[in-house]
Amino acid sequence: MGKLPKYSDRYRKGVEAFVNQAFSRYVVGNELKCPCKKCGNRFWSGSKAIHEHLVCNGPCAHSVEWIYEVSTHEIDRVTDEMDINIGVGLGDEFDAMIHNAYGTNDVTDHVGRTGLNNDARKFYRLVKEGFSDLLELIKEVFPHINLPSFFSAAKGMIKDLGLDYQKIHACPNDCMLFWAENERLENCAKCGTSRWRVVEKKAKASSDANIELASNPKIPAKVMRYFPLKPRLQRMFLSSDFSSSMTWHTLSRKKDGRLRHPADGKGWKSMDSKYPEFAAEMRNVLLGLAADGFNPYGSMNTSHSTWPVVLVNYNLPPWLIMKPENLILLTLIPRPVYPGNEIDVYMQPLITELKELWVVGIETYDARLDNTFKLHASLLWTISDFPGYGILSGWSTKGKLAYPSCHYETSSTYLKHSKKVVYLNHRKFLPPDHKWRSDRCRFNGDVEMLSCPDILSEAEVEELLRGYENDFGKPLKRNRGTSDCPWKKKSIFFELPYWSNHIEKNICDKILGTLLNIGGKTKDHLNARQDLEEMGIRKDLHPV
């Protein structure tokens, strides 16, 4: 098929036959990896998109053979490209290494055949056997290195190094964790929901094979993965080279008044001035917390969101801080949707460890100095986009009081046609004599007379939240507050004795999308222009 002209009827019929056969046997969800020249088996697409791509772009060179076999119903010997890349979904580099080790025809004998997409148990066995075979391959190439021989031994080694994780059961309605003093409870203390999943179980020795519901106490309804922080901080000082990097901010940083490192910023200096005993030990760790959701299934399930919580180690030099291997994964919150205010429920183990690290510390061996010291750690700030800022801080980033810097003095306007709240009085941040304050035409049609509001201080925030009682859990959301109250919770970070402020990082993709006129991102549309006409401003942008 690869040698036929793309405009020929035979080519188009072959493409159609391939798409029908491939999606009937190897579909994952509703998609497959597209084998066209442009996608090259890297991106997942639906049947219609793959059909169009193959007609327009043609197949990539290494996919021609199995496309021909699938389209002509000769599927007894599907090549490894289809078996591994589409059936299992492993990465390209891993595929190539396995191919080189075992050969094209024998790959499936080692890692399994197709048809595993609908059977999670077989897929798990595939991963274990594939990882064990990979370990054996590495030991053959490097016989003198100390590596475990199989998957279970590798897990045991990681556990012995203190780098494993804890499985913590959670209420399905996000009310609480079955952890600490609640570890042995069978039902949620707030909503009464069982911690165990109700699963479908086939009745045995039944002629009609009826399906009955059975409660299996061994299957938790929701599980959070938590990676303990203290042993990971201890391991940073077991290497003399890495221990040197952990004191770079004090011993090697150039101090000339320029901002080269977080240690040069106001937040770090404020921490040092308020807590000189903590600053006196240069090996104490200062951290930043980042949290955001991502979809682990790519385009296969666009509604799912898993939330990792990551710590950033700011003791390191600036060229090492954001290296992936130096980011500390703390928590994985599995959810079909984002956690919202209930993220505080899942942050309890982390906050408990951070309080212990601040007050008590932990005995740590320093390989560079060959001594033991008491290691302490503190959290400087959080890093998130604007919706994530609202989830972590408790301040609602939606509605008429959504702007945190202006808080209760936020100036907002509701747009009738776009059906959203906007904030147009941004000129109040300009100096009082700035010429733009009197420019009616290019802004909202009024002269800006308001002054910049003062940011709420720590004491003012604590006073506003005094007596505020958090009410977590899905069934109880209907009873929370009113739309006039911007506070949706008292953030769990206030349990830290040194917590003073949050700093958010927000990339304004909607602004960039409008400036660059990116499809699906721009806010320059008919409703927006009708709102301009309603407000009587920017007549050159009114719809015609």
The letter for the amino acid at 522 is T
pLDDT on residue 228: 92
pLDDT at 515 over 70: no
86 Cβ contact partners less than 8 Å away, ≥ 6 residues apart:
22, 26, 28, 32, 33, 41
Q: What pLDDT is stored for residue 99 in this prediction? A: 43
What digits encode the pLDDT tens for the residues 115-137? Answer: 334 455 555 666 777 888 888 88
Of 378 and 5, the one with more pLDDT: 378
Ranked by mean pLDDT, which of 35-44, 49-58, 372-381 comes out on top?
372-381
Residue-level pLDDT at 207: 43
Q: What pLDDT is recorded for position 516?
A: 58
Report which of residues 518 and 228 the model is more confident about. Answer: 228
Q: Record the tokens describing residue 317, joined without a space.
A: 């030099």
User: How many residues are listed for the chain in this entry?
Assistant: 544
Ranges 68-82, 320-334, 416-430, 487-501: which has the least confidence: 68-82
Contact 41, 35 (CB under 8 A): yes
410 against 512, higher pLDDT: 410
Pick the closest to residue 368 from 247, 280, 240, 468 (CA basis): 240
pLDDT at 500 over 70: no
pTM: predicted TM-score of the whole model, two decimal places = 0.64
257 vs 217 pLDDT, higher one:
257
Q: How confident is the model at residue 359 (pLDDT cuts 50, 70, 90)?
A: very high
β-bridge mates for residue 401, sequence order: none
Q: Give 294-321 pLDDT, tens digit per residue.
A: 777 665 555 677 889 999 999 999 999 9
Percent of the chain exceeding pLDDT 70 equals 75
CA 414 distance to own-chain centroid: 32
Is 145 in contact with 153 (CB distance < 8 Å)?
Answer: no
User: Token digits for 540?
Assistant: 């050159």
Determine the pLDDT at residue 373: 94
pLDDT at 92 over 80: no
| pLDDT reported for residue 100 | 41
**What does the mean pLDDT of the chain come to?**
76
Give the distance between the most distant pair of CA atoms in the chain: 87
Q: Which residues are CB-contacts of 399 (< 8 A; sequence separation ≥ 6)?
A: 412, 421, 483, 486
Question: What integer is the mean pLDDT of 24-53?
Answer: 80
Q: How confident is the model at residue 234 (pLDDT cuts 50, 70, 90)?
A: very high
Coil, helix or strand for 223?
Answer: strand
Say if residue 213's pLDDT is above 60.
no
Residue 355 has pLDDT above 50, yes or no: yes
The string of pLDDT tens digits covering residues 176-185 is: 999 989 988 9
